[in-house]
Amino acid sequence: MDQPLKSPGQNALEDAFHRLFELTRSAPAPTLAERLDRLSRLRAAVSENESRFEQAISADFGHRSSIETAIAETLLVLGEIKHAAKHLKKWMAPRRISTALQFMPAKNRLIPQPLGVVGIIAPWNYPLQLTLAPAVGALAAGNRIMIKPSELAPRFSALLRDVIAAKFDATEIMVTGIDEDIAKAFASLPFDHLIFTGSTRVGRLVAEAAGRNLTPVTLELGGKSPVIIDRSADLDQAAARIAYGKLLNAGQTCIAPDYALVPEASVQAFADKLEGHMRRMYGANPGNADYTSIVSDRHYARLQGLVADAAAKGARILQAAKSDDPAWQSKRKFPPTIVVGATPDMNIMQEEIFGPLLPVVGYKDAGEPVAHINKHDRPLALYWFGTDDTARDEVLSRTVSGGVTVNDCLFHFTQVYQPMGGVGASGTGAYHGEWGFNNLSKLKPVFYRSPLNRLADLYPPYGAKIAWLQKMLRWMS
């Protein structure tokens, strides 16, 4: 059967990949100085264009506060670069590994090597941070990089392409276009590692395409990240912190709190406090410059549908304004929304929300939250609020999630000494700091045999010596 014709964009993409691929097989691995230089140039690319990135991202969203972009994107990327540069010499060094007694005086070493060409498929919600933070680990590990930005952030994507091209040769980092034909072909390239950040649905397609080449993948997905309010929690403090975690970037955050499990007797009090803190932070004015727009009309309509479905099925809706109010809808600002009394049959409890909507679900028994969480896919994040250490540790021991923040939201993601990654349907693999370096390196085990070792006694012809050696090996095992 004839193969379908490839577009000019696909042909150019494949040609660019093969140039990088051939270099990873023929050129020496980048030295420490070369890697530090690349990290320095990446830092300059970000810091010199900070305001341009902020403007492009805001234009892609319709509006996003420059403060949010600085805090949630720029500063995190710059921090990743600084941390990697500071520790890179140690990360690159061969690592001493213990040697079993029967092989002494030989030695073992673990030697980090670049994998080769790393592909990054970036999302739209934090386009700078979720594109360049993985790139930091890939550069530190000595890889060459191809980046496919999101088609939902066209202004940012065009700017990133220009900025990277000004600082890097195309054989170091190459940013592709965002045309549909390129998007479909990118995941099918035989990368040495592929990083995808996005929805679980698309993540499955990416993994399937990568699997045809046996390409290892890091998938940073999402899902429904729960909040547990323990009976010991300070409701007002929890409500304030959850309001911030939910409404940052208007909820368009993969680790945003997706629903809250609250003691039944405290549901109304919690909802009232949450609504009060949402109003205090963002007011009830769609012109508030601190509040981010929803990225597209389609996403706005999807959120409206979730609220309408919940209301039709009996939930009580608390909103700063109606989402079809022209003052809000014209700016794609979706009013902060609390859904009280959400039930499992509602769509809002069945799919990731990715917007400024928070369902509140009451529970009677202390074991209910854990049972509820364990009935569903393992979440990317879990948040627990309270002062009862025994209750906290029970939840931590009986649930599995990508990460946890205790008595706050989001901040486990910002820890450069901790890995960031999902589990199960919320992702696989991890990056950040040394975790990213290790994930994007081949940690090659090397055994150095000593001339004093008696391993040759294992070789045929077997004689009396083998019985003695077997006895010694059993004793040592």
Active-site positions?
Answer: 220, 254
Query: CA-to-CA distance for 81 and 432, rounded, in angstroms?
Result: 10
**Looking at the DSSP assignment, which residues form a beta bridge with residue 420?**
431
Query: CA-to-CA distance for 195 and 408, rounded, in angstroms?
Result: 28
Q: Which residue type, as a one-letter code, is found at position 463?
A: G
Query: CA-to-CA distance for 441 and 454, rounded, in angstroms?
Result: 33
Contact 215, 304 (CB under 8 A): no
Query: CA-to-CA distance for 353 and 1, rounded, in angstroms?
Result: 43
Distances (CA, A) of 121 to 101, 430, 473: 46, 15, 50
- The first and second tokens of residue 260, run together, are 């809250």
The CB-side HSE value for 379 (13 A sphere, CA atoms) comes to: 27
Query: CA-to-CA distance for 300 and 317, rounded, in angstroms?
Result: 17
- The first and second tokens of residue 209, run together, are 């395409």
Which residue, 218, 201, 220, 222, is CA-closest to 210? 218
3-state helix, strand, coil in the chain (%, to 5): 50, 15, 35
- The first and second tokens of residue 303, run together, are 């959120």
- Say how many C-beta atoms besides its own lie within 10 A of residue 29's C-beta: 14
Q: Which residues contact 94 (CB under 8 A, 6 or more apart)?
A: 109, 110, 111, 112, 446
Q: Which residue type, as a one-letter code, is found at position 269?
A: A
Contact 293, 401 (CB under 8 A): no
**Cβ-defined contacts of 280-287 (< 8 Å, 24+):** 281/243, 281/244, 281/247, 282/247, 282/320, 282/336, 283/320, 284/320, 284/321, 284/335, 286/321, 286/325, 286/327, 286/328, 286/331, 286/333, 286/335, 287/331
Which residue, 448, 441, 435, 432, is CA-closest to 29? 441
